[in-house]
Amino acid sequence: MGLFDKILGKGEQSDVPDLEEVMQSADGDAVSPPADFYVKRVDLRNEGDADLVLKELGSKNIIILNVIPLSKQPNRLKGIVSKLKTHSGRINGDIALLSNDMIILTPSNVKIVKSKPKAKPGATIIS
């Protein structure tokens, strides 16, 4: 470990395993035999990617949608996500946030179990 590594904190050991390394050592993307349905990741850059998501949902695939490419265009992002939400409801699918950067969309008759928001300290709960 060099002097700059010590100063910048590089090379410090962490208790957190490198999950990316573990995942890359898996059997890759080859599916044998082919599956009936897939979980696919799509990067949302424009309306064409939204159309691809709709097509994949029609093929009964589950979509993990990365919205980072459109994060600097919030109005456009809101419009596209609203369109996807409307479509999900129309086909009896579902949509939910995984994080601020990722959204999951499911095809018809696949529902996402969503946790209810926890009450803030001091808040009154009305039943």
Q: Name the packing angle between helices 74-90 and 47-58 (round to 10°).
A: 20
- Give the model's pLDDT for residue 87: 96
Note the pLDDT of residue 18.
Answer: 76
Encode pLDDT of 11-66 as tens digits.
Answer: 555 566 777 777 776 555 566 788 899 999 999 999 999 999 999 999 999 999 99
Tokens read off for 81: 């996500």
pLDDT at position 5 is 57
Domain boundaries, the chain: 35-109
47-64 core/surface letters (b: 16 or more CB in 10 A; e: else): eebbeebeebbeeebbbe
Q: What is the pLDDT of residue 49?
A: 96
Q: Which residues contact 42 (CB under 8 A, 6 or more apart)?
A: 49, 52, 53, 56, 63, 64, 65, 66
Work out whether strand 39-43 and strand 102-106 pair parallel, antiparallel, or are unpaired.
unpaired
Residues 87-108 have pLDDT tens digits of 999 999 999 999 999 999 999 9
CATH domain 35-109 topology:
Translation Initiation Factor IF3 (3.30.110)
Question: How high does pLDDT run on average in the chain?
Answer: 84
Q: Check whether 111 has a pLDDT greater than 90.
A: yes
